[in-house]
Amino acid sequence: MAQKKRKSQSLLNGALVLSVSTLLVKIIGVIYKIPISNMMGAVGRGYFDSAYNLYIPIYTISMAGLPVAVSKMVSQHVALGRYRDVRMIFRVSARLFTFTGILGTVLLLIFAYPYALIAKTNEVIPAIIAITPSIFFCCMMSIYRGYYNGLRNMNPTAISQVVEAIGKMIFGIAAAKLTITYGYSQFESGAKVFGKVCATESEAMSAIYPYAAAAAAVGVTMGTVIGMIYMIIMHKAKGDGITRTEIVNSPRPVNSGAIAKTLVAIAIPVVTSSIIFSLTNLIDAITIQNRLDGVISNNLDLIKSIYATQIAEAHVLDADLKDFLYGAYTLSLDFKNLIPSITTTLGVSAIPALSAAYAVKDKHALKSSVESVLRVGMIISLASGIGMGVLAEPILRMFYENGKSAPAISIAAPIMAAYGYTIFLMAISQPMTNMLQAVGKANVPVKSLTVGAVVKVVANYIFIGIPSININGAVIGTVLCYLIVVIYNYIALIKATKVKVNLMSVVVKPLISSVLCGVAAYCAYGISYKILPQRLLHGYSFANITATLIAVVAAIIVYVISMLLIGGLAKDDIIMMPKGEKIAKKLAKYGFIE
């Protein structure tokens, strides 16, 4: 019963800490990518994201399963009062992370050139090389992140994520700006631009973009270095909170070899699931770019006629058309990935609580944890997704209207809207995966993701290959993939935990309020935009920015009020917020919650 005496964060408090930090990280990420995209345009942005597509699977192989395994083992041993084992887990995981960090770094360098050949984008190689060292530093950070998460102290992870993001933003923007300035000065002086003779400005920018993308990737590496340094200093200064008395009173630990085997045994199915997910995205990126290349080669005049205005505005060369369209697609991904990244923290926070509940067979805690994660995930994703769909073009204009990516907005907006209306599928898939891992069903997400990945690749091949659909076909495959994953995982989770989910509170009520939220956003934007003065503010539409902000505020107000009126919020959902206890008491007083 030792865990009851220890000071630790509840599931929802831990989720709140990680959700807030993740939101901050994503906001910083958007702030980072706005100037990056505006400096490099859709073509340079395509190179940057293409490098990430190879980076993520190697990153996953290096470390995805170990933080989950460490968190799960630590929480289980804390629940059983085995604090010596907890410390041993930390030491063993440090050695494992060091090995996987070195391995991942080497693998990324090895696969850089073959990947560039397959994706038919040799210009991506500099960015891959620049981002490679970050794998090692991420692994070093994760030694501490998994450990503290298992102790139900999400603060170190949260702070390190923000520190890492700030470092990435500062160094990435500065490096990209310096690179572009240097390359352009070379062109103006008549010298070669990164080894190429350029007769026009379009040719010069085409030569600069690969190295600008690499400079932005340097920011990613520097961010991980700073985040790692923070975690090391924090651990040395504050420790882990385990007292000497707890160490003395705990049983002798098992040997390090046994712990290493258990960590690996837990990590392998988790890694397998994550690898399939990451490889799906990698294959997705490769198939998208390959099919785009094929459909453009065979239907160049038709594709150019479809995007004639955008191509003319962006001064896109025929050789860069594929990268331009792919770059336009990636603009929508910044916002598409924002919502799932927040809800993913719910699953991460659920691992210690669910693992502990599963270890001591606490059925009430299992039901509470599962329903809380699903309900809060749907509350967040349905409203924000519908809002994102309704305001897709205004949001993109607000960020990219005055930059080199502006011509790509009209291409990215329909894609972003489609993702917005279906984002709840992506938003709850990872929390479901984490919960299945916590209750010993890590093989289930592997199966569902495998089936989903196959469907996704086939859909990409079919729909992107249709000239009139081209890049828009990428959305269809993604939605089908996650639909399969969510249905399969949900059935398995309910079967494993024997939890009967209240679908009215988890799905129906948030959906009703989210539709009202979307209607409010649509009406508020339309009315505001018409009556506001049509003038520019530093190159951006004042009416669009103001109307978008008004629409967001109106949507939030309508959503909160409607959720309160129909009883869509539970007491636990309110308590997890700052000053939650006081707010919950006032709402209960007026009959909004029980």
Say which residue, 349 or 488, is predicted with more confidence.
488
Q: Where are the domains of the chain?
A: 17-501, 502-594
Looking at every residue in the chain, the average pLDDT score rounds to 85
**Predicted local confidence at residue 66, as pLDDT:** 76
Q: How far apart are CA 23 and CA 25, in angstroms?
A: 5
Question: pLDDT category, 574, cuts 50, 70, 90?
Answer: low
pLDDT higher than 90, residue 216: yes
> Is there a contact between 420 and 392 (Cβ–Cβ < 8 Å)?
yes
Say which residue, 386 or 53, is predicted with more confidence.
386
Beta strands in 102-160 (DSSP E): none
| Residues near 130 by beta carbon (within 8 Å), at least 6 away in sequence | 51, 214, 215, 217, 218, 220, 221
**Predicted local confidence at residue 375, as pLDDT:** 87
**Predicted local confidence at residue 4, as pLDDT:** 43
Integer angstrom CA distances of residue 450 from 281, 446, 482: 12, 6, 11
Integer angstrom CA distances of residue 396 from 336, 409, 540, 544, 589: 12, 6, 11, 10, 42
Question: pLDDT category, 233, cuts 50, 70, 90?
Answer: very high
Determine the Cα angle at 471 with ends 470 and 474, to 5°. Answer: 110
Pairing assessment for the beta strands 536-537 and 540-541 based on DSSP bridges: antiparallel
Kindly write down the DSSP assignment for every residue of 37-71, as one continuous string: HHHHHHHHHHHHHHHHHHHHHHHHHHHTHHHHHHH
Q: Percent of the chain having pLDDT more than 70?
A: 91
Summarised one tens digit per residue, pLDDT across range 67-112 is 778 888 888 888 878 888 888 888 888 898 899 889 889 999 999 9
Say which residue, 386 or 35, is predicted with more confidence.
386
> Is there a contact between 475 and 445 (Cβ–Cβ < 8 Å)?
no
Summarised one tens digit per residue, pLDDT across range 431-482 is 888 888 888 787 888 889 889 989 998 999 999 999 999 999 999 999 999 9
Say which residue, 32 or 480, is predicted with more confidence.
480
Average of pLDDT values for 358-376?
78
